[in-house]
Amino acid sequence: MNQLWGYLLAAGAATYVWRVLGVAASRQMDVESPLILWTKSVATALIAALVVRFVYAPSGLLLETAFASRAIALGAAVVGYFALGRRIEGGVGSAALVFVILESLRSG
Amino acid sequence: MATEPRPGYDWRGLPQGAAAALSLAGVVMAASFIGFGALLRSVNFELVAGLATVPLIWALPGQVVFVDSIHKGLGLAATSLAVSITAVRLMPLTVLVLAQTRVKGAARWPELIAAHFVAITLWLLSNLKIENVPYRRRLPWLIGLGGMLCGSMIVFSALGYFLADRLPVPLAASLVFFTPAFFLVSLLSGIRWRFEYAALVLGAIMGPLTYRIAPEFDLFVAGIAGGSLAFMLHGLALRFRR
């Protein structure tokens, strides 16, 4: 019990370290500086990699779903976003709809 | 008496930020945290400690890795290291979020509070909305938004814990799938520069490749390599245009 909380505090601190480093680094930079643009580029690529990992190497509940459902639904997110006038709701809604339909077809 | 206001933050931004939590992003995040609560239940994790990961770690990938490590019986050092690796990406996100909030001469300590709330969703929401928030209200706005999201997600995690045995698997899986769909669409809508499309595509291509080579560091490597390549292409394009 107490040991678990020790682990929890250590994990929290191990996370917060990166946030403090971010605060320190942000003090040196301007919004439109090349360093910020590069940082944004890295963050965008990193999140994109995280997104596709949900498709090819999912964990937990998504393991119970088909690769094709996940891949096609993610494609539907992009198509829905642009086709419905660049709206976030359009993209997320299309993805959710396609995903639920494909998964219920598969299990039904 | 000086009539000039002292440089500082306008804390009316705090409740405005809290109200901004009620958004599509908030709903998607709630779906993800219901999924996290269901995960806690599925590995018989102690509820209170599981819920405490929300405010103490506050980044879903780190929380999932933490629960997974404890479940596997890893030691203190290994668990902390694994969680810390997932948190590396919070550093650039913190830089980007705080770069939009700078107020000259204002106190710096609130940045340390806002930094604790930085997560992908917070970055995406600030990308979408912070331009319309007056400068002096931005940092309080972030703290209000982050605090409200964090508090609410404790409740949604608990909800997921209790719903876990009652939801059919396809429905529960759909809740989890909201997260990547939302991340992707938010990235698209937050793009201001053309090279960011290149960063998105390169990151998506390099992710699976780096996962084969170094599964623990895949995101970090794909981010640095894909993002840097896209940024270099941007530099080349600028040079050719001249």
Residue boundaries of the structural domains of chain B: 13-189, 191-242
Indicate whether this model's pTM tops 0.90.
no
* Closest residue to A18, CB basis, from B52, B53, B91: B91
- Residue B195's contacts (CB-CB under 8 Å, 6 or more residues apart) are A41, B230, B231, B233, B234, B237
Instruction: Give the mean pLDDT of chain A.
Output: 89
> Mean pLDDT over residues B79-96, rounded?
86
- Report residue B188's pLDDT band, with 50, 70 and 90 as the boundaries: very high
In this predicted structure, the answer to whether residue B6 has a pLDDT above a threshold of 70 is no
Strand, coil or helix: what is B36? Answer: helix
The tokens describing B142, both together, are 């972030």
- pLDDT value at position B4? 54
> What is the predicted pLDDT for the residue at A7?
97
Q: Tokens standing for A67?
A: 């690769």
The tally of domains found in chain A comes to 1
Evaluate whether residue A18 is within a structural domain. no
- Spell out the residues 6+ positions from residue A36 whose beta carbon is closer than 8 angstroms to its own: A29, A30, B95, B96, B99
Q: How far is CA A56 from CA A53, B31, B101, B106, in A?
A: 5, 21, 37, 46
Q: pLDDT by residue (tens digit) across A51-69?
A: 999 899 887 778 889 999 9
Closest CA to B228 of B204, B203, B194: B203
pLDDT above 70 as % of chain B: 97
- d(CA B139, CA A22) in angstroms, rounded, equals 15
Residue B153: name the closest of B16, B26, B15, B17 by CA.
B26
Does the pLDDT of residue B123 top 80, yes or no?
yes
Residue A15 has pLDDT above 90, yes or no: yes
Report d(CA B42, CA B161) in Å as an integer.
8
Whether residue A73 contacts residue B181, with contact meaning beta carbons closer than 8 Å, is answered with: yes
Instruction: Give pLDDT tens digits for B146-182.
Output: 999 999 999 999 999 998 888 887 777 887 788 888 8
What percent of chain A shows pLDDT beyond 90? 52
Answer yes or no: are the C-beta atoms of A57 and B211 closer than 8 Å.
Answer: yes
Residue A16 lies in a domain: no
Handedness of CA B74, B80, B85, B87 (dihedral sign): positive
> Both tokens of residue B24?
């599509």
Q: Residue A15's closest CA among B214, B9, B233, B63?
A: B63
Of A5, A7, A96, the CB nearest to B174: A96
| pLDDT, tens only, A67-96 | 999 999 999 999 999 999 998 889 989 999
ipTM confidence: 0.87
pLDDT for A1: 56
Q: Is residue A98 part of a domain?
A: yes
**Chain B nearest CA to A87, separation (Å):** 8
Going by the DSSP 8-state scheme, the letter that residue A64 receives in this structure is: G
Q: What is the largest CA-CA distance in chain B?
A: 66
Domain span at residue A89?
53-107
Identify the band that residue B242 occupies on the pLDDT scale cut at 50, 70 and 90.
low
What is the CA B97 to chain-centroid distance, rounded?
11
Please state, in angstroms and rounded to a whole number, the distance separating the CA atoms of residues A102 and A107: 9
Confidence of residue B3 (pLDDT cuts 50, 70, 90): low
Mean pLDDT calculated for residue range B77-99: 87
Q: How confident is the model at residue B60 (pLDDT cuts 50, 70, 90)?
A: confident
pLDDT at A6 exceeding the cut of 70: yes
Question: Has residue B1 got a pLDDT over 50?
Answer: no
Of B175, B176, B203, which has the smallest distance from its Cβ to A49's Cβ? B203
Asked, for residue A42, whether it belongs to a domain, the answer is no
pLDDT confidence of residue B152: 97
What pLDDT shows up at residue A79?
A: 97
* The predicted structure's pLDDT at residue A52: 94
Whether A44 has a pLDDT exceeding 70, the answer reads: yes
SS (HEC) of B54-122? HHHHCCHHHHHHHHHHHHHCCCHHHHHHHHHHHHCCHHHHHHHHHHCCCCCCCCCHHHHHHHHHCCHHH
- Is B228 within 8 Å of A81 when comparing Cβ atoms? no
> B127 falls in which pLDDT band (50, 70, 90)?
confident
A7 is a domain residue? no
Inter-chain residue contact B187 with A48, CB threshold 8 Å: yes
Which amino acid is it at B162?
F
B203-240 pLDDT per residue, tens: 999 999 999 998 777 887 898 999 999 999 988 888 88
With a cut of 90, say whether residue A17 has pLDDT above it.
yes
Please state, as a whole number, how many other Cβ atoms lie within 10 Å of the Cβ of residue B53: 27
In terms of Cα–Cα distance, which of B155, B72, B52, B174 is closest to A69?
A: B174
B28 touches chain A (CB under 8 A): yes
B189: chain A residues, CB-CB within 8 Å: 81, 86, 88, 91
